[in-house]
Amino acid sequence: MNHLRRTKNSSHLRELSDSSSLNSKKFIQPLFIVEGLKERESIGGMSGVFRESQSSTYKQIESDLKEGVNQFLLFTVPKKKSDTEFSGNFYHDAISGIKKEFPDIFLWLDTCLCSVTTHGHCGHLGSDGKIHNEKSVKRLSNLALLFAQSGADGIAPSDMMDGRVGSHRNILDSNGFYNVPIMSYSTKFKSNFYGPFRDAAESAPGFGDRSTYQLDVRDRESAIAASIRDEKEGADYLMLKPGMTSIDLVHPIKEKTNLPLGAYQVSGEYASIELLAANGFLKREEGLIETWNVFRRAGISFLISYAAREAKRLFS
């Protein structure tokens, strides 16, 4: 099955592929599910966003559905970190549990290793202290398959290794998951705006930074080439991240690719609005609406935002 068939398969995907202007139906809500958590925990800098337990995740989704959200991007945070294994039961129970409770939602799974590994990097660390691309891709594809087997509706690779989209498509197809689309974090920069997220996902690198695999913010040509590459490898959706600081790239990427292009208004971007509002420097909702209008003006097809659950009320 090819991209054109796969993306027609559900009303959720047809919404993301709609190339008319951004509206609340095209918002995706991130969620963090943490293994072994008893009570949900707040996240510094991001009011209204939590590290959820299994049961609090259900309550949150139930309330989000009432607010008109039906697409989610799930971040899984396992308790035991490992550089070789996956705690299979956690992923299976988390994902299949959610889909059993809420069969009608569309559940995207962020696919990365930074919450899994002992060192917090997004890939496999070799004995030479470097991230090994091929071994990383192999392990990431096994994780993508585990997600699909557990009931994930879509795979969202965020690691930025080379070749991961093609490898995920292969492993999904050869196991019969032709229908599972790939939303690639295709143009993803190394950024200072991921701070609150890393606290939430237990994913800060233990040493060094992500500059050998994430894009350099000064490198415009590679930023565009990365999205072109992911289209060629078989992605169904492309994405820019951080959204606001990449807004100049919407137009050139749309000119050179032929897939729906979304953006991720990341944790630091969201938290900056929260912090300004908390200090009386702006009105939170008006600040959010202003940024969403910028995404709409730029021509993106869908938006991942921590305030997705407010979009129907604020931004129809």
Catalytic residues: 188, 241
Q: Give yes or no for residue 114 binding ligand PBG (CB under 6 A).
A: yes
Q: Give yes or no for residue 94 binding ligand PBG (CB under 6 A).
A: no
3 versus 311: smaller Cβ distance to ligand PBG: 311
Angle CA 21–65–88, to nearest 5: 105
- Enumerate long-range contacts of 285-293, CB under 8 Å, 24 or more apart: 285/310, 285/314, 288/314, 288/315, 289/314, 289/315, 291/244, 291/265, 292/22
Contact between 137 and 171 under an 8 Å Cβ cutoff? The reply is no
Q: Give yes or no for residue 110 binding ligand PBG (CB under 6 A).
A: yes
> Which x/- pattern, by CB under 6 A, does the window 184-223 give for ligand PBG?
----------x--xx----x--------------------
Give dist(CA 116, CA 172) in Å, integer. 21
> Which x/- pattern, by CB under 6 A, does the window 266-285 give for ligand PBG?
xx------------------
106 versus 189: smaller Cβ distance to ligand PBG: 189
48 versus 104: smaller Cβ distance to ligand PBG: 48
As beta bridge partners, residue 74 has: 31, 109
Give dist(CA 291, CA 243) in Å, integer. 10
Sorted by sequence, the CB contacts under 8 Å of residue 42 that are 6+ apart come out as 49, 50, 51
Q: How far is the CB of 220 from ligand PBG (least distance, A)?
A: 20
3 versus 295: smaller Cβ distance to ligand PBG: 295
Q: Which of 31, 61, 112, 298 binds ligand PBG (CB under 6 A)?
A: 112
**In the 8-state DSSP scheme, what is residue 37?**
-
Q: Give yes or no for residue 224 binding ligand PBG (CB under 6 A).
A: no
Give dist(CA 14, CA 237) in Å, integer. 11
Q: Give yes or no for residue 238 binding ligand PBG (CB under 6 A).
A: no
Binding stretches for ligand PBG (CB under 6 A): 110, 112, 114, 122, 158-159, 194, 197-198, 203, 266-267
